[in-house]
Chains A and B, each alone.
Chain A
Amino acid sequence: MASISIRNLVKRYGNLTVIPDLNLEIADHEFVVFVGPSGCGKSTLLRIIAGLEPISSGEIYIGDKRVNGVQAAHRDIAMVFQDYALYPHMKVYDNMSFALELRGVSRAEIDARVKRAAALLHIEPYLDRKPKELSGGQRQRVAMGRAIVRNPKAFLFDEPLSNLDAKLRGQVRAEIKALSQELKTTMVFVTHDQIEAMTMADRIVVLQSGTIQQYDTPETVYERPANQFVAGFIGSPAMNFFPVEWRQGQAILSLGGIVMPLEGESAGRLRVAGNAVLGIRPEHFVVTTEAADSVAINVKLVEPLGSDTLIHFDLAGVSAIARVDPSLRPKVGDRIGLRPQPGKTHLFDAANGQVLR
C-alpha cells in the first residue's frame, strides 16, 4: 500500500506532446478514477505509473521510492487490463499464482493466497480451467484475482469493464468498489464512462488533452465543475449550455433575446461579467405554469425512462434536455414553462470556459 506522486510529468511521442505538464498526488488507500474522452491521455498516464511507458521528463514516486526508470516488474504494482490479458496457455490457478512463483513465494503460501482470492471473487470452481473456457465476466474476475494475490502497493485498472455487457458491468462495478473497501489498497481506475467514475471514486481526475481539468470528489466535480468541459463531461444527459448576456437588469439569452429567469449569485456574477455561458443540468429544470417566472418552450421529443422523463426542446437555437418527474408526460408540440432551480445554475467565462465564481 502506498501513495502515488506525479510531478511535472511530460510525455511526448516524437514531436507530439500528449501530456504537457502534469502534477498529481494520490493518497494511500485512495480510489482515484481517471476519466476523460478518448485520446485525453488517461490510459497513457496509467501505463506510465505501471512502468509500461517511458516518460519524457518529470518524476514519479510510488510510496517514498522514485520509480523513474524502474521496470514494471520491479514497481510492485498490479494491473488489470481492458482485454484481461490472461495467459491463454495457463489454467486459472497458474494465471493467479504466476507472479508469486516469480517472486519465490513458497508453494503453501501461493496455494493459500490463490484460494483466498478465488473465494473472495467466487471463482473457486474455475481454478482448473483455461481462460478460453470462461465467460467474459469470469475472465474479468480472474484478472482481478491475479492482481489481488500479490498484495501489491497499488492496483491499476485500465477500462476493465468496457468489454462486459451493461448488466454485468453494473455488477462488477459494485464488486470492485466493495473489494476496494475490503482490501484498503490504493487503486487507480481508468474509464471513459462517467457513471463508473462517479460511483466508484473517492476522487476523480477529469482529463482533457493530457491536462487535468479538475481533481476532486465526485460530488464536487458534479456540483461545482471547474470549467465548461468538466460540466459537459460529467453528468448524463450532459449539462445544457446557453450563451447569455446581462441586459437591462436581466439575463437575456444571446440568441433570440429570450429572458432567462436567473436569481441570486448567478445573476450577480453575470451582471459583473456582462456575458457568459449559462450551464443548467437537465435535472435542474423545474416545470412551471407561471409564464412570468419561466421560459416557454415547445416540446420536441419525450423520452419516458420510468424513473423520470426526458423532454427535448430547442431554446434560442440550442438543443437542450430537461429531466422531469415521471408523472409528467407532455406531448410533442406542447408548450410548457421551464425555469432553472435556484442555486443550481453555473456560469462559465465565454472566452476560456472557466467557471465564474
Chain B
Amino acid sequence: MTDAANTDRWIRWLNTLQLVIAGALIMAPTVWMVLSSFKPSFEVTAYPPTLMFSPTLENYVELTKTTPFLSYALNSLVVTVGSTALGLVFGIPAAFAVSWTRISWPAILTLAARMAPGTLFLLPWYVMFRQIGMIGSYTALILSHAVITLPIVIWVLLPSFDAIPRSVFEAAQVDGCSVTRILWRIAMPLVASGIAVSAILAFVFSWNYFLFALVLSNGDTKTLIAAAFNFIGEGSTQWGALMAAATLIALPPLVLAALVQRWLVSGLTLGAVKG
C-alpha cells in the first residue's frame, strides 16, 4: 500500500472517530432522557446510573394523570404553528425586499433582536400585554414567538433569494409583473425548499422556546415546555415525569428533522453555491 493510500485511510479513520465522539456527546443527554423516562422514579437519580433496568410506562401514566398533557400539547401546537406562519408571512417578503433593494440593515436589525437575550423583551412585553389585557392569550404568545421565527425565516431565505440571477426578476418586470407578482410567481417557487427549511427551523425553535411561554401564558394557554417546569418543585423534583414530558416534547422536532434531513441540508446550503 502506498503512503498516500495509508494517509487517506488514517484520515478516514480519524474522521469517523471524530464523528462518533461528537455524536456520543450530542446524543448522550437525549439517550439519558429517553432511558430515564422509562425507569421507575427511584432509579432515575440513582448513582451510579443503571443501564439495565425493567422498563416501565409509569412516568407517562403519571404525566397524563396529573397534568392536562394533551391540552398543553395543543397550546404548543397553536403557538408554534401561529408564530411560524406569522414568521413566514412577514419574513418571506422581508427577505425578498432586502435581497431586491440590497438594503441590509432591516435584516441585521432582526438578527440583533434574535441575538438579544429573551429577558430583554420580557418586561416590556409583559407590561404592554397586561395593559391591553392580553396576558395569557394565544395572540400574545404567537406575537412574542415571532421574535424567534421571523429572523430565522429572513436569514435562511436571504441567501436563497440572492442566489437567483437578477436578470430573472428583470425579465419578469419586462414581461409585465409587479414586484408582488414577481415574489409570488417567480421568486417563491424558486426558493420553495428554502421556505420549507425556514418553516421547519422556525417551528423547532418556537416549539422549544421556554421563556416567553413561562411568563406570558396562563393555565389555559400554557405550552408543553412551560408546563414541564411544574415538575420541578421547591422541595422535590419529579424526575421521572419530567423526563417523560421532555421526551414527548422532543419528539415532534426530532421526527420532523429526521423526515426532512436531506432537504434540510440542501436547503441550508441553497444560497451558498451558485451555478
Contact = CB atoms under 8 A, between A and B. Distances in A.
Interface of A: 50-52, 71-75, 77-79, 81-83, 85-89, 98-99, 102-103, 146, 150
B175 interface: yes
Given A81-B171, A102-B181, A88 B176 contact: no
Interface residues of B, number: 17
A57 to B, nearest CB: 23
Interface stretch (B53-61, B67-75, B162-170): B162-170
B172 interface: yes
Nearest to B167: A85
Contacts of B167: 81-83, 85
A50 B174 CA distance: 7
A53 to B, nearest CB: 10
29 contacts: A50-B170, A52-B170, A71-B173, A72-B173, A73-B178, A75-B174, A77-B174, A78-B174, A79-B171, A81-B167, A82-B167, A83-B165, A83-B167, A85-B165, A85-B167, A85-B170, A86-B168, A86-B171, A87-B171, A87-B186, A88-B168, A89-B189, A89-B190, A99-B175, A99-B176, A102-B175, A102-B181, A103-B176, A150-B175
Contacts of A150: 175
The dominant DSSP class at the B interface is helix
A290 to B, nearest CB: 58
B89 to A, nearest CB: 22
Could you say which of B165, B173, B186, B190 has the most chain A C-beta atoms within 10 Å of its C-beta? Answer: B173
Contact of B171 (A71, A75, A85): A85
B114 to A, nearest CB: 30
B171 A73 contact: no
A85 B172 CA distance: 9
A82 B166 CA distance: 12
Contact of A87 (B172, B174, B176): B172
3 A-B pairs with least C-beta separation: A85-B167, A99-B175, A85-B171
Could you say which of A50, A88, A103 has the most chain B C-beta atoms within 10 Å of its C-beta? Answer: A88
